[in-house]
Amino acid sequence: MLEQLEIARKRVARQYILGYSLMCLGMILTVIFFSLHLFGIGLTLFFLCPFVGFVILLLVDDKEKQYKLDFKQNVIANIVEGDDSNLQIDPNSGIGPRDFVESFLFSKKPDLYKTEDLVYGQIGKTTVHFAEVGAQFVYEGNANQIFNGILFCASFNKHFGGLTLVRPRPYTNSLSRWINQNLLTNNKVVDLENADFNRIFFTQASDQVEARYILTPSLMEKLLELNQYANSTISISFIWSNVYIAFPLNHNYFEAPIFKSLLNADVLEKDLNMLRLMRHVVEELDLNTRIWTKD
């Protein structure tokens, strides 16, 4: 399969190179002929070469989309389904805005929202789904980033009825007001025993006893370890008997390269590392241990 996709990749790459080369060549030849006072030829090349190049780029767009879709549906799908987990990928789906808002990880509702590459299924006994998400809000005509990365959700191994929220420091009261308005609860600061955890995270919960029941010393250590894998501090919420984790990441995963060979050994390295991280979440948080009140 990789060999067939590599042939398709080369075709797409050649068309891109040809299209952009014609556009650049037109500009260069126009300058040359204008300097020789051959204005008629210069003007012809000024319009003709970029136009042909633009048409070539326009025609390659559908081929590129099909190549990238084939890559996800065949190569990435085989990787996702190839281990001992029961996972599937849907390149055209993601995590909806409602799920994003109801995670209570973000203080603003998105005005601009993009999500793709939903991975869903089970790892062991744990039901999970995660996807790439890009969310922005618009203020005074400018788009401002809320989140860009992987939003992960899994069924937690303990029942709970309220909200426990773990957010990066420094913390602002805007999120507290937003939570109180939406949940209509009196969320209070939870001062936990782990000093390193308190230094990095700000914890708030609707039920102090429940928060301590969830955030055991062991779990806090594991969250600190998971935090090392993200580009900036992760956010975690425990609600609806699920755990949501927002991993801020810059890389666009599961995308087929255009100008790099698919046969390179490291072409899938970042994708594989991300999938290992999601499995690592389940393992580190011990989500497959059903010793409390879940079966």
Continuous H helices in the chain: 2-35, 39-70, 77-81, 97-102, 173-183, 195-200, 208-214, 217-227, 269-284
Q: How confident is the model at residue 84 (pLDDT cuts 50, 70, 90)?
A: low
Find the range with the poorest average confidence among 184-188, 266-270, 273-277. 184-188
CA separation for the pair 276, 6 (Å, rounded) = 25
Q: What is the DSSP string of 163-215?
A: -EEEEESS--HHHHHHHHHHH-S--EE---S-HHHHHHEEEEES-HHHHHHHS
Q: How confident is the model at residue 83 (pLDDT cuts 50, 70, 90)?
A: low
The letter for the amino acid at 12 is V
| Predicted local confidence at residue 8, as pLDDT | 93
Does the predicted model carry a pTM greater than 0.75? yes
pLDDT tens-place string over residues 51-72: 888 888 888 999 999 999 999 9
CA angle 241, 244, 247 (to 5 degrees): 165
Q: What integer is the mean pLDDT of 241-252?
A: 89
Return the residue matching tokens 């084939």.
70
CA separation for the pair 215, 194 (Å, rounded) = 10
The letter for the amino acid at 75 is V
Q: What integer is the mean pLDDT of 116-145?
A: 91
CA separation for the pair 9, 260 (Å, rounded) = 9
CA separation for the pair 92, 46 (Å, rounded) = 40
Measured in whole angstroms, the distance separating CA 172 from the mean position of its chain's CA atoms is 25
Question: Which residues have CB under 8 Å from 81's CB, separation 6+?
Answer: 87, 88
- List Cα–Cα distances, 242 to 55, 80, 135, 161, 166, in angstroms: 50, 22, 21, 10, 14
Q: How confident is the model at residue 295 (pLDDT cuts 50, 70, 90)?
A: very low
Asked if pLDDT for residue 257 goes beyond 60, the answer is yes
Find the range with the poorest average confidence among 15-29, 81-95, 183-197, 249-263. 183-197
| Predicted local confidence at residue 240, as pLDDT | 81
The letter for the amino acid at 265 is A
Asked if pLDDT for residue 176 goes beyond 60, the answer is no
| Predicted local confidence at residue 292, as pLDDT | 47
Selected residue with higher pLDDT from 9 and 36 = 9
CA separation for the pair 172, 159 (Å, rounded) = 29
Question: Which residues have CB under 8 Å from 109's CB, separation 6+?
Answer: 97, 101, 137
Asked if pLDDT for residue 291 goes beyond 50, the answer is no
- List Cα–Cα distances, 111 to 136, 143, 233, 240, in angstroms: 6, 9, 23, 25
Is the CB of residue 112 less than 8 Å from the CB of residue 143?
yes
